[in-house]
Structure 1
Amino acid sequence: MAYPTVRLRRLRKTAGIRSLVRETVLTVDDFIMPIFVTHGEGIKNPIGSMPGVYHFSLDKLDEEADAIVELGLKSVIVFGVPSEKDEVGSSGYDSNGIVQQAIRRLKARHPELVVIADTCLCQFTDHGHCGMVHVHEVNGQSVGEVDNDASLALLAKTAVAQAEAGADIIAPSNMMDGFVTAIRQGLDEAGYTDVPIMSYSVKYASAFYGPFRDAVHSTPQFGDRKTYQMDPANAREALREAEADVAEGADMLMVKPALAYMDIIRTLKEQYDLPVVAYNVSGEYSMVKAAAMQGWIDERAVVSEMLLGMKRAGADLIITYFAKDMASWLK
């Protein structure tokens, strides 16, 4: 049958009818709020390229955690900005590192809050790469190369230190081959068999990360990350990455970034029965904020539509710097 018997506009006639037949709904339970923690006291410093996002010292973390919980958000992901960096990122796996201190403080104040630890070395290495760097000579020039296998032990050590501090979920973002196996083995051997891994399974070498790298001072000091993060042109490769992580014991699969990779989110949702996480990254956030500040767009409407699109594509959870805004708007 077709028009005039079929009139698709009948189910759009009123707000009440549209609400009844709405297929996808955002709730406060969908969102994970990123937090940036740093050393010092009395620090709540704005991140210039990310309006509304701050660096917090531990004493200021309580205020932020209280606000997050009051809005009804259930989860945060913690990123650390250490006072010192070295070639192996040792402050990342230091039991008294900034991330570990933040996890303990968050769990002590709000035990019910799900605290996720980003597990990578780029924030803690002086070279800004996500693993150990092996330097060798090529035509008389010193060339740095990220050493995949040597990095795995340090990443596992970092994950265990985070679990010991009380992290509910480990979220490794380093994109080394075999990182889920190494971290799962490390956690299990340390007695943390029940701590799940939210794997950054499909992480692209994206231009959308710029503001984040400003926030954690992790811009690579040489080269780029294209030898271990994915080529934005590739989709089938995403299935191979996800398949490897599933086989190695990942409990959740993440796609990062989200906005330009809706097809990848949908593909993972259709292929695997694990929860799919979308990371609405810093560049996606900052573009919307900048346009809204100029009065060019309706921020609330654009953010709601953007995040709705990610969920419609298949995301079960969304890491987003808009989490607090969305929670407030939904209230």
Structure 2
Amino acid sequence: MNIKTIGLDIAKNVFQLHGVDVNGKTVLRKQLKRDKLLEFFANLLPCLIGLEACSGAHYWARELIKLGHDARLISPQFVKPYVKGNKNDANDAEAICEAVGRPAMRFVPIKSIEQQDIQMLHRVRSGLVKERTALANRIRGLLAEYGIIVAIGLVKVRQQLPDILEDAENDLTMAARMIFADLQDQLVELDKQVTTYGEKIQAVHRASEVSQRLSDVPGIGPITATAILAALGDGKAFGSARQVAAWLGLVPRQDSSGGKPKLLGISKRGDVYLRTLLIHGGRAVVNAAAKKDDAQSRWINELVKRRNINIAAVAVANKNARIVWALLTKSVEYDLSAPTSV
């Protein structure tokens, strides 16, 4: 059986395969259990294998590469146009097989185990931060039911809740005080966990020479630098700096027709977490630029005058994404005096 390309639709326990030969003729339609998948590919001649970039895809891609195959990940949005008929495993595998063979197809970079470790740190910390914010909002909402108003912000909740619990003149019953005391303990515990994971990210940053080079860029700190390292690796999966900015959704959407270009707001595609970090960093740079008079600060201040602070923050984030690609692919130090148009 001479198989050139295989589309692999992965799941938790059942995997669907669709293979074609050099002429594009279907020569394989097969369903395998999880424990039989690697055994099957180990006995197969090296070929091109396409997978959707979903849960577990990076693991399977690494395992298939170890067996000598050319595994590539495709974003699900690029597979969907090739699905024929109703959605099922067989049609999905066939669509993946068709999509992976397209010469102009864009692929998702395969992450190493080290990248996934760093990314997991960020995902856990980000989840804890969201849980902490939700808990603080829950506390404020429940206190409002008793006529006690706490100002917006996590700091205000931390400051005022102990005083509220000690105030014997408010209308809180003993049962309510016990519940709010439990919620306060949960908030303190979440603070500790967020701090712990922040320290782990700092340790990764200190141990990585590449991450430290990235943090030299204004607007990029240890958290953003390690997140970039987890997402981009060495950056060589991207052909240009603009591709990185586009991949992160920091370039305008287009709605052009009839030769008339029409640019809208940023596309917001790609990694939401990393894009958010870059924009927050860009906003810090914009705020600091108001008190400076170097070339970049003058450019930022002019942009703020022409447009607004938010657009300037996105513009800085876009530029930083391009600078990061140059630093990763060329293995150079950041030079503030050098031109940054990459």
TM-score (norm 1): 0.24
The structure whose RCO (Cα within 8 Å, separation 6+) is larger is 1
**Bigger Rg, which one:** 2
Q: Which has the higher strand share?
A: 1
